[in-house]
Amino acid sequence: MLSSTNLYKSFNIVQNVLLQQTRNTFVLKRRYPPPLHKKNGKLPKMKARHFIYDLVQDTNVVKQPHISVILKTFVQGVGKEGDVLTLSHNVAYKDYIVPGLAVYHRPENAEKYQQKDQNTLEEAEFSSPYAQRTMGCLSRLVLQITMNKLEPWILEKWHVRVSFRKAGFVVPEEAIEMPSIVIKGPDLSLQEKEFYVTVTINKTEKVNVRCRIHHWATGLDRLEWSEFHWKKPLEALIPEQAEVLEKMPLPT
Amino acid sequence: MASRIQATVRQLSKSYKKKTKFDIGIATELPAAYKKFWHEWKVLKPAAVHFVPQEGKWKRDEITGETLPIQNIPIPLKYPAEFHEGIWGGEAVIKGFQKRDNRRRRVPHYWVPVLKRTVVRSEVLNTNLSVTVTDRTIRLINDHYGFDHYLLKTPACDLKSMLALKLKKQILTELMNGCHRHAHDPQKQKEIYEEYKTYLSSYTPEEIEWYGLSWYEALHKVAAQKEAANKPVPLKNIYRKNLVEKLKAAGIEEHKTATDELSTTTSWLSKMNPFGKKDEA
């Protein structure tokens, strides 16, 4: 009796599972096992009830063990050659093995790629696996520096730092290199100008970040909102920077 | 009388062997290499994918304490046409019933594997292929450390699908010929050959030639071979040869010039006027 109630309960669970789409290998079980047959003899005569199956296991629910792969080349944001990554089956296969970025972690491969790793350790292109990604993010950024429209100010490093923080980047002040001229305000002509500051990542990589000044005020003094202002090409504030700014791509 | 008939029947039944596929018609001429492949493909039992086989030979009934043999009857699988266009890693369609409630009638149900299209890379063939697979296939490829290793290590009864078998055959042929697709890079060619050459030891060149052929392909191959071997020779060639030999036997010196003339005239005529009149030739 006890076993039958248990079976009933488990069956209800199975039913709930079956209502959803399942991405798995179905492991089934006959509910009514067929009768025994002679050794090496004919199979027993099967009736319809012998084809009633219950789901035993849903391989989607079972957690799959991760596999490890060895990187063949430097991969941005992941690691350098010879690094061992532990990933899920599908991710490892789809993102690393098929594009040829990594090989399976086998003794032969470990030997082959580990040795190369030791030789090229000093020649690593970037200071960290994430440096290249950060450089990309910063070079695409249009940094809006919000300054007061009514109170007089001189643009300083900490203004830029705060603006970076508002845009989601924590940049220490010593990593910021300000433009050569002193920028003073409030000056509404700055609203239509742009310049760049240079950020040093890990004291090695240098990136130019496009900056624009926005004059802030409340009430009637507030400047009118212009749509997609970050896409508009603007004039360079400092003539020496014009060439570099032209080469930096604007967001589209 | 009756006992005598029984005795003969018994005797005959011992010597009588039921005719198989290979004992009828042109199939009798199929080579042993193909029979071996057929055995690997159709006769061997595939690995249990859709059920959990019970371990051991015997088990004891919990209630009665009776000892019973363990007989694993595999769940029958369906192989649709699409099965042969992908590599499903041993999975297939199951047709059966579900009993969703004890008080209700069973309902028919098909359990179909979830298929997806992905890229597989073959090192030996030096190509990427877009193939329909299941999650299980990818797991198997990863467990075998690569697509080629998976195909070469897995017997035909587990691969089952025509696509997988054809690829396996192609890979084996390529290995046998020494990886020509990597000819531009001799070092890599050597590396790959060294890695995969162990698999060649279990096949002879003839077996590779007959590997991965369906029943009808194999029959066609036999028929084609037979036809090529017994190609009919035109009678005119035979008669001409006989005539020349007869003439030679009669007197070499006398007819030497005549035979030369004959050969030149016939060749010239056959070139210029193949449908000429009889008295001209």
Give B66-125 pLDDT, tens digit per residue: 999 999 999 999 999 999 999 999 999 999 999 999 999 999 999 999 899 999 999 999
How many domains does chain B fold into? 2
Q: Which residue of chain A is at minimal alpha-carbon distance from B118? A: A94
A242 in any annotated domain: yes
B139 in the same domain as B123:
yes
Residue B70 lies in a domain: no
Q: Which of A75-89, A123-137, B8-22, B141-155 has the lowest mean pLDDT?
A: A123-137
Residues B86, B214, single domain; the answer is: yes
Beta-carbon separation of B114 and A26 below 8 A: no
Residue B40 DSSP class: I
> Are residue A33 and residue A85 in the same domain, yes or no?
no
**Within-domain flag for B220:** yes
Q: Classify B134 as helix, strand or coil.
A: coil
Residue A111: its pLDDT value, please? 83
Query: Quick one: average pLDDT of B199-207?
Result: 94
In degrees and rounded to multiples of 5, residue B244 shows phi and psi of -60, -45
Q: Is residue B184 part of a domain?
A: yes
Alpha helices per DSSP H over B45-200 = 135-143, 147-153, 156-159, 162-176, 186-196
Q: Dihedral sign, CA of A175, A181, A187, A188?
A: negative
A53 in the same domain as A80: no
Residue B126 lies in a domain: yes
Instruction: Answer yes or no: do A28 and B94 touch at CB < 8 A.
Output: yes
Interface predicted TM-score (ipTM)? 0.75
Q: Where are the beta strands (DSSP E) in chain B?
A: 58-60, 67-69, 86-87, 94-98, 107-111, 116-122, 127-133
Q: Which residue in B155, B151, B137, B139 sits closest to B45, CA to CA?
A: B155
Please list every residue in chain A whose beta carbon sits closer than 8 Å to the beta carbon of residue B49: 25
DSSP code at position B63: T
Q: Residues of B with CB below 8 A from A15's CB?
A: 100
Tell me, yes or no, whether A208 and A102 share the same domain: no
Q: How many folded domains does chain A comprise?
A: 3
Tens-binned pLDDT, residue by residue, of chain A (252 aa) = 334 444 444 444 444 444 444 446 788 999 999 999 998 888 889 999 999 999 887 676 678 889 999 988 888 777 788 888 899 988 999 999 998 899 999 888 888 887 555 555 444 577 887 888 899 899 999 999 999 999 999 999 999 999 999 999 999 999 999 999 999 988 899 999 999 999 999 998 899 999 999 999 999 999 999 999 999 899 999 999 999 998 888 888
Q: Which residues of A61-81 are buried (b: 16+ CB within 10 A; e: fewer)?
A: eeeeeebebbbbebbeebbbb
Q: Which domain holds residue B251?
A: 235-272
A135 and A79 in a single domain? The answer is no
Judgement on whether residues B216 and B244 belong to the same structural domain of the protein: no
Mean per-residue pLDDT, B45-52: 90
A50-64, A158-172, B152-166, B244-258: which range is least confident on average? Answer: B244-258
The answer, yes or no, to whether residue B253 has pLDDT greater than 80, is no
Type of residue numbered A56:
V
**Which pLDDT belongs to residue B2?**
78
Same-domain pairing of B137 and B181: yes
- Is-contact B165 B151, C-beta < 8 A? no
The parent domain of residue A72 ranges over 67-119
Give the model's confidence band at B193: pLDDT under 50 very low, under 70 low, under 90 confident, else very high.
very high
What distance in Å separates the CA atoms of residue B74 and residue B56, rounded to the nearest whole number?
16
Same domain, A142 and A233: yes
Are residues B212 and B121 part of one domain?
A: yes
Hey, is the C-beta of A43 within 8 angstroms of any chain B C-beta? Answer: yes
CB B210, CB B34: distance < 8 Å: yes
> How do beta strands A193-201 and A235-236 pair?
parallel
Indicate if B98 and B203 belong to the same structural domain.
Answer: yes
Inter-residue contact B30 to B57 (CB < 8 Å): no
In a domain, A108, yes or no: yes
Q: How confident is the model at residue B281 (pLDDT cuts 50, 70, 90)?
A: very low
Question: Which of A41, A58, A75 is the C-terminal boundary of a domain?
Answer: A58
Domain match, B95 and B122 both:
yes
Query: Length of chain A, please?
Result: 252
Considering the domain architecture, whether residues A233 and A159 belong to the same structural domain is answered as yes
Query: For residue A27, is it within any domain?
Result: yes
Q: Based on the domain organization, do A202 and A243 belong to the same domain?
A: yes
Tokens of B167: 């690829």
Return the structure tokens found at B163: 């696509």
Lowest mean pLDDT among A164-178, B2-16, B250-264: B250-264
The owner of tokens 């596929």 is: B21
- B111/A43 touch (CB, cutoff 8 Å), yes or no: no
**Closest CB to A52 among B51, B97, B139:** B97
Tell how strand B86-87 and strand B127-133 pair up.
parallel
Q: Is the domain of B182 the same as that of B244?
A: no
Binary contact (B75, A28; C-beta < 8 A):
yes
**Within a 10 A sphere around the Cβ of A228, how many other Cβ atoms?**
7
Q: Which residue of B has its CA nearest to A54?
A: B98
Distance (Å) of CA A64 to CA A59, B51, B154? 8, 19, 22
* Residue in A51, A64, A104 nearest the CB of B96: A51
**pLDDT of B46:** 92
Please indicate, yes or no, whether residues B109 and B240 belong to a single structural domain of this protein.
no
For chain A, positions 83-112, list CB contacts with chain B under 8 A: 89-90, 92-94, 97-98, 100, 104, 106
State the smallest CA–CA distance between residue A40 and chain B in angstroms.
Answer: 10
Instruction: Tell me the chain B residues in contact with residue A97 when contact means C-beta distances shorter than 8 Å.
Output: 121, 142
One domain, residues B240 and B215: no
Please tell me the number of Cα atoms within 13 Å of A83 on its side-chain side. 17
Residue B13, in any domain of the structure: no
Q: Is residue B16 part of a domain?
A: no
A133 CA: distance to closest CA in chain B (Å): 27
> Residue A100 maps to which CATH number?
3.40.5.10
- Judged by CB atoms closer than 8 Å, whether chains meet at B75 and A30 is answered as yes
